[in-house]
Amino acid sequence: MKKLFPLIAALGLACSAGLTYAAGDKHNAQQTKMATCNQEAEGKTGDERKAFMKQCLRAKKVSRQEKMKTCNRDAGDKKGDERKAFMKDCLSNK
């Protein structure tokens, strides 16, 4: 029993540290999203800014795979260096 208690305590401590770390990641992601939306809202005031911020903060991030599909579709018949330049620009845009 004496050997079991330190094991349980260590396990509990590890679990609580993991939960704290996960909450920190979510918090940092939200802060980053807020900062990005604030930058994009520059120049907007009042109700316009409020509506923009609401929409911006609710928007879901597009996955890399979805972005790739969209860029491939938009590239159409482009070939070679033209396609490469288009894809680079398309994938780097928000």
Q: What is the pLDDT of residues 11-61, one digit of tens each?
A: 565 555 554 444 556 667 778 888 888 888 889 999 999 998 888 888 877
pLDDT at 9 over 80: no
pLDDT given at position 80: 94
* Residue 16 sits in the same domain as residue 33: yes
Q: What is the pLDDT of residues 61-88, one digit of tens each?
A: 777 888 888 899 999 899 999 999 999 9
Residues in contact with 2: Cβ distance below 8 Å, sequence separation at least 6, in sequence order? none
CA distance 68 to 72: 6
SS3 content of the chain, % helix, strand, coil (to 5): 80, 0, 20
* Residue 13 sits in the same domain as residue 57: yes
Residues in contact with 41: Cβ distance below 8 Å, sequence separation at least 6, in sequence order? 49, 52, 53, 56
Structure tokens belonging to residue 17: 């540290």
pLDDT given at position 19: 47
* Residue 53 sits in the same domain as residue 67: no
* Residue 26 sits in the same domain as residue 69: no
**For residue 25, how far is the Cα from the chain centroid?**
11
